[in-house]
Every structure is written in C-alpha cells, then in structure tokens.
Amino acid sequence: MNDQKGFTLIEVLIVAGVILVIGIFSALAVNSARSKSRDAVRLSQVRMLQSALEDFYNENNGYPRDQGIPLGDATQSACLGAAGFQADCSTDRAVLLRAVMGTVESGLKDQVICGTPARNAFCYSQLLDASTYRIQFELENNWNQVGLIQGINCAYPDGIEAGRCRLEI
C-alpha cells in the first residue's frame, strides 16, 4: 500500500495547463481593451480637431491653408491659432487649440503617412479654396456603432466617414 501524500505529475500538469489557458485569454482581453481604448482616444482627438476647425472657420471664413501636414507635429502644427496651424502660438492674438495632439501611434499599420519625415499622423489638408478640409486617420478596430472601419477613415466638416478620403468634395 502506498501511503505517500501529494499531487501526481498529471494533476500538476493539468493545473498548470488551466492556469496557462486562463493567462492567455486574460492577455488577449487586455490587449483588445487597450486597442479599443487607443481608438477611442484617436476618435476623441479627431472630433476635438473638427470643433477647433469650425471655430477657425467662423473667425476666418475658411479653413487653415495647409496640405498634407501631420497634425501635432512640433515643427509645423503644434497649435491652431488665428493664422492656422503653427509650431508656436504664444504670440498669436487668438488661440483656438493650444495643443494639437498627434495620433496614438501604437498599434497602427502605417496606412496613413504624411509629413517630412513621413510618419503615422492625422493628415490634414484644406480643399476647395479653404471652404472645406479633410483629416485622414487610421483606426485599429472596426467601430460599427459609428460606421467606421479598421484602417483608414476620413473626417470632413460634415462628419466622419469610413475609408480613404475623397479627392473631391
């Protein structure tokens, strides 16, 4: 008769396997939540930019006259003042957006690139003699509730659309 107490090798392996499976599913859930959180920040930043651009339009009867600039770039578009996107608005008479935030680069697949040097960014261009604009940006996930897709999306004065920006509006 065997009077040894303890766990068999099979029991230990089963417990270790269960813990491993739980750990894998937990890591996947956390990564998914982080990805969705980054997308929520990106959408919030795009909507904030749209609001500031509408204020600019109301003050200047047009949108900033820039083409393909990476928003949030410290050398060209760190803020939005009365003269448009600038590196420094400290001397501007009216500042509409003191800090233009760049995109959260983590998790992106380099589908929206602009600027020199080229990098992931919210890419802004004014169109039609400053009467409209577009901001092209990238998301990591589909956002079915707002009609946006994983990958490239575009913001215009009248809203946000899934897919690449239209060349003409």
Round the average pLDDT of the chain to a whole number and report it: 88
Quote the pLDDT of residue 168. 65
Backbone angles phi, psi at 79, to 5 degrees: -150, 165
Residue 138, CA atoms < 13 Å, CB-side half-sphere: 20
24 has pLDDT over 60: yes
- What pLDDT sits at residue 110? 82
Question: Which tens digits make up the pLDDT trace of 112-128?
Answer: 888 888 888 899 999 88
pLDDT in tens, 35-54: 899 999 999 999 999 999 99
> What DSSP character marks residue 108?
-
Q: What is the dihedral of CA 70, 33, 156, 77, to 10 degrees?
A: -20
pLDDT band of 141, cuts 50, 70, 90: very high
**Residue 169, pLDDT above cutoff 60:** no
Mean pLDDT to the nearest integer, 143-149: 92
The pLDDT value given to residue 105: 77
